[in-house]
Chain A
Amino acid sequence: MSSKPPLQDAADRYLHPLSVIFSLTDLIKQNFIPALLGIFGAAKGDLVYVGIALLFFVPTFIFSLIRYFTIRYRIADGELVVQEGLLFRRVRTVPVERIQNIDMVQGVLHRMLQVAEVRVETASGTKPEAVLKVLSLEEMARLRAGVALQKQTAHVAHADDSDAGLVTPPYANSTGGSVTDGSPGEILLKIPLSWLAQAGFASNRGFVLIGLLIGFYFQFDQGNPRDFRMRDFGGWNIVPDDGGPLMTLCIVAVGVLVALVLLRLLGIGWYILRFYGYQLRQSGDDFKISCGLLTKVSATIPRKRIQFISVHRGLIMRWMKLASVRIETAGGAAENNENATTTVSRRWFIPVLPESAVVELIAELRPGVDLNMDRYQWIELAKRARARFVRIACMVSVVIVGAVFLMAGWQWASAGLLAFPTLILYAIRKSRSVKYARTDFGVVYKSGVLVKKTSFTFFEKIQAASWRQSPFDRRWGMATLSIDTAAAGPAEHVIEIKYLNQDAAREEYRQIVKLASSA
C-alpha cells in the first residue's frame, strides 16, 4: 500500500485534514438531543432552541478544531511521541516496545474518503494510549511500518545485553514483536458467510432490539392495560372482535412465531454486519483480525499478551457443533461498551468456528499445551454441593410462588409451581457442570448449563489466588477458590469456583500460588 518509506525519525506529522469532518460527526453523535432540538427549533422558526443548540455546539466545536490542529506525532529514538494542546500542552511518550497493537477502525464514511481511525494500545489502563482520528491509509501504513522497524532495532539492541537480569517470559526468545508487521501473514481461519448466519441464528442478539420495540410500544400507549387486545398493535384490526378463544390462541401463536423468526433474522444481520469477511492471520508472534461489512475493523494481538482463553458453546451452537472463542489481553478491561475494536479483539476474538477446529486453534494460540482434556485430573464440586444448589432452588421457587400468589391469586400460583421442577433440574445440572483442573501449564475451568464455557489461563499470567469461606460454607464444609488475572472480565468467565470441598480448595489455592510464583 505504502510507496513512501516507513515513518522514521521524521519531523512532526499531523492528522489528515478530513479529521475536522469526523470531529463534527462525532460531535453530533454525542450531542444528539441538542442537535435534534436545534433542528426542530429551526423547522418551527423558533430561534431560542437554535440558540441553545449553538450554545452546546460552538464551544465544543472550536475546542475540537483546536485539538485537531494542534495534535502531532512522531517516532524518535524508539518512542512514539504524541503531542497535543494549545495552552496546556500534553506530550505523551510511548516506548515502541510497549505498544501492543495499532488498531484501525473504518466506518463507511472513512472508507469512502480513504482514511481510518487509528488506536495505539499498550497494556496499561483502560483506554488506548493514543487515538489518532483520522489518518490517511497511506499515513497509517507508514506509522505501522515505522513502529515495526523501531521494534526490530530495539530487539537487536536487547539481544546484545541479554544478561540484563530480566526474567524472560515464555516466547520472549521469539518475540521480535511485530517484526513482520505490515505483511499479511499466514491465514489461520476464514469465516464463511454460512457460519456467520448459523452463529447469528444461535445468538440472542435480536432480543436487544425487541426489548427496544416493546419499550417504545409501552411508552406511546398509555391506555388501560385491561383493554389490551391483539388489535391494539398499531391499530390493525387483526383479531375479529367476535372471534372465539381458539382464534385468539392461534393469532397469539402465529405472533410469537413471527417474533421468534424476526429475532433470529436480526441476530443473523448483526453477525454479518459485524464479522463479514472475518480473517484471522498469524505473522510472527502476532495474531491479526480483520472483519466488518460497513465498519471495518482490524486489530493485532501479540501472542504473549494473551492472558486467558475461553471457549463458549451456547445451546443452539452445540446443536450445530459450533463454538466461539474469546480471549483476554491486558488493558482495556474496564471498557465495557460495544466499542468496535475492543469488542472484536477481546469479546469476539473468534465469533464462530466448528467445534472440531477449537483444539487446533488453541494450540496455535498457545503452542506446547497439552489439550487432551481426558487426561486432566478434574476436580468437581464438593459432594454435597448438589444438595446445596437444590436447597437454594427450592427457596427461590417458594419466593416466586409466594410472590405470584400475592400478586395474582392462587390460580396463577399453581402455574408458578412449575418453577420447582425447572429450578431443581437446573440446580442439579449446574452442580454437575462445574469442573476444574490444574495442569502443567495452568488452570482449566469448565462451567455452564445452557452456555457451556471452558477457559484456560496460565501460571505466568495468574496475578493472585484467593480462598474464601462464609459461615454457610463452613457449615457445609465448603469454600470458594478464585484466581485473578490481568484485565479479567471481557470473556465473561471469571475463575471463581464456589462450593468446592474446603480441603481441596485450600490445597489448590496453595499449589496455584506456588506454581504461579515459579512460573
Chain B
Amino acid sequence: MTEPQLVWNELDPASVTVNRIAYGIGVAVVAVASTAGGAIAVFSGLPAPWHWLLPAILVAANLWLLWLAIFWPAVEHRNIQWSASSVGVEIKRGVFWKHRIAIPWARVQHADVSQGPLARQFSLGNLTIHTAGTKHASIELEGLSHQVAIELRDEVIRQRKAGDVV
C-alpha cells in the first residue's frame, strides 16, 4: 500500500470508568427490580423447587450482569479507534461485528461537541459529525476527552470545504 499509514487514536481511558458507572447504574436498577419481583413471587407461595431456584437464578443473573458491566467497557474501549488523515475522519469499532466508516473532509456539514453530566465529571465529551447523507447523516464518537473533542471539531471545521454540495 502506497498511501501513508493511518495513525489510530484510542478514546480517553476515563471513558471506561464512565461506561462502568453508567452500566453499573443500569445493573443496580435491574437488581432492585428483580429483588422486588422475586420477593413478591416467593412470598406469594411458589411451588416446591422454585421457592429457592428462582432467587438463585436471579442472583446468578445479576452477578453475571455485574461482571459484564465491569468487564465489557474495557473490551469496547480496546475496539474503538479513530483517525484523522488527509482524506477525512475514519472510525472503526465493534467487538464481534466490526464496522468502519470514513467521511471525507469535504462532506462534513457541521460538527458538535456535547457532554453529559457523568462525562462532565471526567471531562469527557462526545463529538458528532453531520453529513448530508442518509444512513450516516450523523456519526457519533463518544468518550473522547473533552479537549480532544473540541480540537477535533475545530479541525473538522477547518478542513471542511463543503460548499453547496447537495
Docked-complex contact A510 and B107, CB < 8 angstroms: no
- Does B118 count as interface, using CB distance less than 8 angstroms? no
Separation of A462 and B105 alpha carbons in the complex (Å): 12
**Mask of B131-166 contacts with A, CB within 8 angstroms, 1/0:** 111111001000000000000000000000111111
- Does B55 count as interface, using CB distance less than 8 angstroms? no
Separation of A514 and B133 alpha carbons in the complex (Å): 17
Mark A residues whose CB is within 8 Å of B.
123, 166-169, 305, 307, 330-331, 333, 460-471, 474, 482, 484-489, 494, 509-510, 513-514, 516-517, 519
Q: Which of B87, B98, B102, B133 contacts A488 (CB 8 A)?
A: B133
Mark B residues whose CB is within 8 Å of A.
3, 87-88, 90, 96-107, 131-136, 139, 161-166
User: B96: which A residues are within 8 A, CB to CB?
Assistant: 470-471
Q: Given contacts A167-B163, A469-B99, A517-B88, list 7 more A-B pairs with CB under 8 A.
A: A166-B164, A167-B161, A463-B133, A471-B96, A487-B166, A513-B87, A513-B88
| Closest Cβ neighbor of A487 among chain B residues | B134
User: B139: which A residues are within 8 A, CB to CB?
Assistant: 464
Docked-complex contact A464 and B131, CB < 8 angstroms: yes
Contact A484/B100 with A330-B166, A517-B105 known, Cβ cut-off 8 Å: no
Separation of A471 and B88 alpha carbons in the complex (Å): 27
User: B101: which A residues are within 8 A, CB to CB?
Assistant: 464-467
Docked-complex contact B107 and A168, CB < 8 angstroms: no
Docked-complex contact B136 and A466, CB < 8 angstroms: yes
Separation of A461 and B131 alpha carbons in the complex (Å): 11
Q: Which of A462, A468, A484 contacts B98 (CB 8 A)?
A: A468
Contact A469/B88 with A463-B131, A463-B132, A517-B105 known, Cβ cut-off 8 Å: no
Q: List 28 A-B contacts (CB under 8 A).
A: A123-B132, A123-B166, A167-B106, A167-B163, A168-B163, A307-B166, A461-B165, A461-B166, A462-B107, A463-B136, A464-B101, A464-B103, A464-B131, A467-B101, A468-B98, A468-B100, A470-B96, A470-B97, A482-B135, A484-B136, A486-B134, A488-B134, A513-B102, A513-B104, A514-B3, A517-B88, A517-B106, A517-B107
User: B102: which A residues are within 8 A, CB to CB?
Assistant: 464-466, 509, 513
Distance in angstroms from A392 CB to nearest chain B CB is 18
Q: Which of A169, A469, A485, A516 contacts B104 (CB 8 A)?
A: A516
Separation of A488 and B131 alpha carbons in the complex (Å): 13
Docked-complex contact A468 and B99, CB < 8 angstroms: yes
User: B3: which A residues are within 8 A, CB to CB?
Assistant: 510, 514
